[in-house]
Chains A and B, each alone.
Chain A
């Protein structure tokens, strides 16, 4: 039940892109085609789940016992950068085909604020389930990370599909490119507001 709540809330209600404003750069940058959008969201899902798992363990078993929570931002971003490098190397070795399709997105993920954002959120924020508010445990954190990544994927793939159509239409010159994309995203965000109140 808790898992289901986390999933629905992270994918639809508190969508990481459209209501939390995290990961906007790839959302605007890698959403011109549906194919690349799918690739990006797969890579993000993978890194986000892994990074959240590692940073949660680091926070609980290293930073808090050593009373060094102030090193949080530094260590988390280093972990994420390191993980991205590692995933890149491993992927290159074991699955060149997958590397071909995901490889180009990996370096972009280090500076995707959604990854660091989710990692920080699960160790800083209390989550609320049916009247009760508490911190997430390791399993729930990873579920939350995966759900957030799915939310990111859903938003970016839908958005890419709209933008593919948009290319065919006549857009007034000052609106071309980013402005019309932002306005489209605004209308999508309006639509996603309809989910609010579900959880």
Chain B
């Protein structure tokens, strides 16, 4: 497959949120606004791409039996680097996302791609795969965040669209489940039989 196709595949056909249903915790937990969702998606994208590249490069030096712990160490190292950089340069976003940044380590998407793709493909392909899946994740989170923010607080990327409050429940916990459930049903309806 050509690199560009690998990237496209991650956005629609293998969309981590709507098709693979992976990484649900950050998807629900950080999408109280479009910006937060986008920030979380981008942080995951960076970790995913870097760990995919490194794992693809080192896979043949790692004996099979210790591959999962090795991948976990590599992934958590990248997560910590992102964490430190965000603390230093994007402190307010870091505070909003909080616990969900270190929890990228246990995001099934990252370990899943390492195991299913990166350890048996070239570095370039793995990088593209990481980029595609990461973009798909970022896009989904941004859309969910956008809808929740619009309905819940009546703002769009922080801009006030009308005066007064939104329908509060959408930025609270139940709203996360409801919006994601409805969006997923819509996605199923639109892509029925085509994926």
Contact = CB atoms under 8 A, between A and B. Distances in A.
A21 B105 contact: no
Interface residues of B, number: 42
A86 B21 CA distance: 29
Contact of A183 (B28, B103, B173, B178): B178
Contacts of A116: 102-103, 105-106
Nearest to B183: A179
A70 B80 contact: yes
A24 B185 contact: no
Interface of B: 21-22, 24-26, 28-29, 68-69, 72-73, 76-77, 79-80, 83-84, 99, 102-103, 105-108, 111, 169, 172-178, 180-182, 184-186, 188-189, 192
Nearest to A191: B174
A112 B111 CA distance: 12
B80 A179 contact: no
B185 A179 contact: yes
14 contacts: A21-B29, A21-B176, A24-B25, A70-B84, A74-B76, A77-B105, A110-B106, A174-B189, A178-B184, A179-B181, A179-B185, A186-B174, A186-B178, A193-B173
A185 B80 contact: no
A187 interface: yes
A183 B76 contact: no
Contact of A189 (B73, B76, B173): B173
A182 B99 CA distance: 22
Contacts of B83: 73
A22 B189 CA distance: 28
